[in-house]
């Protein structure tokens, strides 16, 4: 039974609640009142006002900044793009800076194009002048530098092509199903972002050596084909500038004023490049929000923005704290969520918009109930004419946590846009083998399903399927999987596994779908656990989360046949909806991860999965469970770092909402009862009753104690089982994910 069917104005389980206050309203004074006509630069601000650009006090201060380093802490929805463009115009129009000496760095081509357009529309500036400013992404700017020095490589920008190349290398090495290509490429990218190459990759274990060989072969392939990818551009440019003093000096002379957007997302190599060319004058103007640092998994280093003042002691710090996007009630909640973070620049946003609608909260029984209620609410608002589908965004923490919403939208035929590959949950690499076990129980001759499950039997796909098809031609049987028993070179344990699996598949169709999946998982989990390569390239918590979500999806079905038919229906209807997704500006709901939503805004936001184990994610809670495995100081910092990034995700999600915010917290997840997210409960908890939100235990449950290597890096949650006696004699080793130091510890699994 659903715990709480209606959206309410407080989290359902709050007992003695501390009401969340609305954000303070801004005084709305702008340059019209703040810049006197008698001031030397008044004409610049008057001309901006004629174009409808009225800057507030802090925006004026940032625009007027001339020499030396400046850190602009731009809160969510505070008009940072306006500041960057206005300051660029100010340098040219008022300070008479040569536009050729200005560099404006963004993180996306779309942002760069928007900056150019806005600058060209400023009073006194033309498209011709704007074109002389160097505006672009890190990659486009430094690729131009490489080309000017004779580099002629073609850009390898297609992720599909990169992954396909790695797949071919894996196939050559007979490792088709051993690694995820995208994960291997992410490991390589992580090294390059820290100014390292694949030669720096550790090679102590056989798996590390294997990964190193695969990635080295990928690097050779690029070189042989005269290709360069985005990471290579920055690494080559860095080495070039370090090596060629004359080139570096010419860059420093040319670019006397450097402006950088999204500074919180900067990684080490990007910072080093900017640091090099901004010397000696350090006219470096960076704009960012440390409260929106959510890409550390992608290489972003939060210390770059947090330690900026230490690196540049004469930094001018300006805080843009007026939010022009959301209502005072939404900003009030956002402020009280993020204030629990310790490692941040203190700032409290104030609002410009009022509303009678506070944020609303829902406590459904499960993610499926959550999906039903959210779709009901959206459908009602669209049918009564108060909203259209494109007004809504549904945010989720991970792709697997969107499964229930995705299913509901597809089955009900509601138009929506998803920003993933477009495949359903059931077509994911981790999920498909489980579902194909069910298919085989209904259709034993389904060769495609047999091919999918072969890796779980530790049998090479190509070799196994070739043998089955050849044997089936000579000796047709109803259950072709049995032909595997005659495969040459099988070990005894593999023969036993095949026999057991055949029996398992035969029995599945008579079980309830949930029970059938639990039985499949017994062997599938063992496969994942035993496969050391998978342990390195798949995040364990993500895998467990995905497998648990399969069970949740099956719970409402009575037979395996019903469940498989439902899955086929979802897949088919999803294909039909592809045409809707291709229409520009389609009237459709947006469904995306919180990470993907950064920088966007919507009239109505649904934040799903605001429960412990989802947001904050279980991987962050595991860091808390492991805080005693390494030194107390390092352990506590690691816990805090993991939880604080999750809290920033909650903050980013909340601040996407312009007019309405709905927060939903399922009561059950992965078969266990879970609390409402601490990020949502904490603001409602009276101060005297609050505990340290960062180090709250995930649970008191402990399972099997195992020895592990635990990464001590603040930004990496990597760990590996210690599997040999020789390993226990080592003092430490290098983390294969981040190259940090791993120390021995214990873990309960």
Binding residue ranges for ATP: 74-81
Give backbone dihedrals phi and psi of 141, rounded to 5 degrees, phi first. Answer: -65, -45
Instruction: Give the active site residues.
Output: 80-81, 261-262, 292, 656
DSSP assignment of 687-729 equals GGG---TTS--S-S----EEEEEEE--TT---EEE--SHHHHT
If DSSP states are collapsed to H, E and C, what string results for 289-347? CHHHCCCHHHCCCCHHHHCHHHHCCCCEEEEECEEEEEEHHHHHHHHHHHCCCCCCCCC
Answer whether 485's CB lies under 8 Å from 495's CB: yes
Are 153 and 226 a contacting pair, CB within 8 Å? yes
DSSP 6-34: EEESS-TT-SS--PPPPPPBP----HHHH
Phi, psi (degrees; rounded to nearest 5) at 221: -60, -45
Q: What distance in Å separates the CA atoms of residue 641 and residue 333, rounded to the nearest whole number?
A: 22
| Residue 160: how many other CB atoms lie within 10 Å | 9
Q: For 513, what's the count of Cα atoms within 13 Å in the CB-facing half-sphere?
A: 25
What lies within 8 Å, CB to CB, of 712 at 6+ separation is: 630, 634, 638, 740, 741, 742, 743
Matching residue, tokens 């088709």: 176
422 close to 578: Cβ distance less than 8 angstroms? yes
C-alpha 541 chain-centroid distance? 15
DSSP class of residue 656?
Answer: T
Half-sphere exposure of 280 (CA within 13 A, CB side): 1
Residue 322 contacts residue 26 (beta carbons within 8 Å): yes
CB 572 within 8 A of CB 426: no
Give Cβ neighbours of residue 249 (< 8 Å, ≥ 6 apart): none
Residues 6+ apart with CB under 8 A from 701: none
How is residue 194 written in tokens? 């820290």
Name the residue with tokens 């989802």. Answer: 614
**Cα(160)–Cα(91) distance, integer angstroms:** 42
From first CA to last CA, the distance across the chain in angstroms is 31
The residue count for the chain = 749
d(CA 15, CA 176): 54
Q: Is the previous residue joined to 415 through a cis bond, with omega within 30 degrees of 0?
A: no
Cα 73 to Cα 86: distance, rounded to the nearest angstrom:
16
Helix (H) or strand (E) holding 106: strand 102-106
Beta strands in 131-249 (DSSP E): 134-137, 154-155, 227-228
Distance CA 547, CA 563 (A): 16
């Amino acid at each position: 039974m659903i715990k709480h069917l209606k959206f309410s104005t407080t989290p359902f389980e709050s007992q003695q609640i501390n009401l969340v206050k609305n954000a303070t309203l801004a005084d709305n004074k702008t340059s019209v009142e703040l810049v006197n006509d008698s001031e030397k630069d008044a004409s610049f601000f008057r001309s901006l006002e004629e174009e409808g650009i009225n800057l507030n006090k802090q925006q004026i201060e940032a625009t007027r900044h001339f020499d030396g380093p400046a850190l602009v802490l731009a809160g969510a929805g505070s008009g940072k793009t306006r500041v960057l463009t206005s300051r660029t115009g100010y340098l040219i129009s008022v300070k008479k800076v040569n536009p050729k000496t200005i560099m404006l760095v963004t993180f996306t081509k779309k942002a760069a194009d928007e900056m150019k357009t806005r600058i060209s529309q400023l009073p006194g500036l033309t498209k011709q002048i704007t074109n002389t400013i160097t505006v672009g992404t890190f990659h486009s700017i430094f690729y131009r530098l490489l080309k000017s020095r004779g580099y002629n490589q073609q850009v390898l920008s297609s992720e599909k092509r990169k992954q396909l190349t790695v797949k071919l290398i894996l196939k050559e090495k007979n490792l088709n199903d051993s690694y995820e290509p995208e994960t291997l490429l992410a490991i390589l990218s992580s090294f390059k972002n820290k100014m390292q190459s694949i030669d720096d990759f550790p090679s102590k274990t056989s798996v590390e050596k294997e990964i190193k060989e695969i990635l080295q072969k990928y690097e050779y392939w690029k070189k042989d084909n005269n290709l360069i990818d985005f990471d290579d551009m920055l690494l080559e440019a860095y080495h070039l500038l370090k090596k060629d003093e004359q080139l570096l000096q010419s860059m420093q002379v040319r670019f006397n004023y450097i402006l950088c957007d999204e500074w919180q997302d900067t990684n080490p190599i990007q910072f080093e490049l900017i640091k090099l060319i901004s010397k000696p004058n350090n006219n470096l103007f960076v704009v960012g929000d440390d409260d929106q640092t959510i890409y550390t998994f992608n290489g972003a280093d939060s210390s770059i923005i947090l330690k900026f003042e230490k690196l540049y002691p004469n930094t001018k710090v300006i805080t843009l704290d007026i939010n022009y996007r959301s209502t005072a009630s939404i900003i009030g909640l956002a402020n009280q969520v993020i204030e629990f973070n310790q490692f941040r620049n203190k700032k409290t946003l104030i609002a410009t918009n009022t509303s009678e609608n506070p944020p609303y909260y829902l406590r459904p029984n499960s993610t499926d109930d959550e999906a039903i209620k959210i779709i009901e609410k959206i459908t009602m608002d669209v049918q009564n004419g108060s909203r259209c589908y494109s007004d809504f965004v549904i945010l989720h923490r991970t792709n697997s946590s969107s499964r229930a919403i995705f299913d509901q939208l597809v089955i009900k035929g509601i138009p929506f846009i998803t920003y993933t590959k477009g495949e359903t949950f059931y077509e994911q690499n981790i999920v498909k083998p489980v579902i194909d076990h069910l298919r085989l129980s209904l259709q034993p001759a389904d060769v495609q399903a047999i091919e999918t499950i072969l890796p779980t039997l530790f049998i090479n796909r190509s070799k196994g399927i070739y043998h089955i098809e050849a044997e089936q031609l000579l000796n047709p049987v109803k259950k072709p999987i049995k032909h595997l028993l005659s495969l040459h070179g099988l070990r005894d344990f593999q023969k036993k596994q095949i026999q057991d699996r055949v029996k398992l598949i035969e029995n599945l169709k008579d079980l309830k779908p949930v029970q059938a999946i639990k039985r499949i998982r017994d062997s599938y989990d063992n496969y994942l656990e035993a496969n050391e390569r998978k342990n390195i390239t798949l995040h364990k918590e993500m895998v467990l989360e995905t497998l648990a979500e399969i069970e949740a999806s099956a719970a409402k079905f009575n037979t395996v046949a019903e469940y498989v038919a439902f899955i086929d229906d979802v897949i088919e209807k999803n294909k039909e909806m592809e045409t809707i997704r291709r229409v520009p500006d389609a009237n459709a709901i947006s469904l995306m991860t919180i990470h993907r939503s950064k920088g966007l805004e919507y009239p109505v936001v649904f934040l799903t999965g605001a429960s412990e184990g989802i947001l904050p994610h279980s991987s962050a809670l595991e860091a808390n469970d492991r805080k005693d495995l390494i030194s107390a100081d390092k352990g506590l910092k690691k816990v805090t770092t993991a939880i604080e990034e999750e809290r920033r995700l909650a903050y980013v999600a909340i601040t996407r909402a312009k007019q309405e915010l709905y927060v939903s917290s399922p009561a059950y997840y992965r078969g266990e009862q879970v609390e409402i997210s601490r990020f949502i409960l904490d603001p409602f908890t009276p101060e005297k009753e609050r505990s340290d939100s960062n180090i709250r235990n995930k649970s008191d449950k402990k399972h099997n104690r195992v020895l592990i290597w635990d990464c001590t890096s603040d930004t990496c949650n990597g760990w590996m089982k210690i599997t040999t006696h020789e390993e226990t004699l080592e003092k430490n080793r290098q983390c294969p994910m981040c190259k940090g130091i791993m120390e021995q510890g214990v873990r309960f699994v």
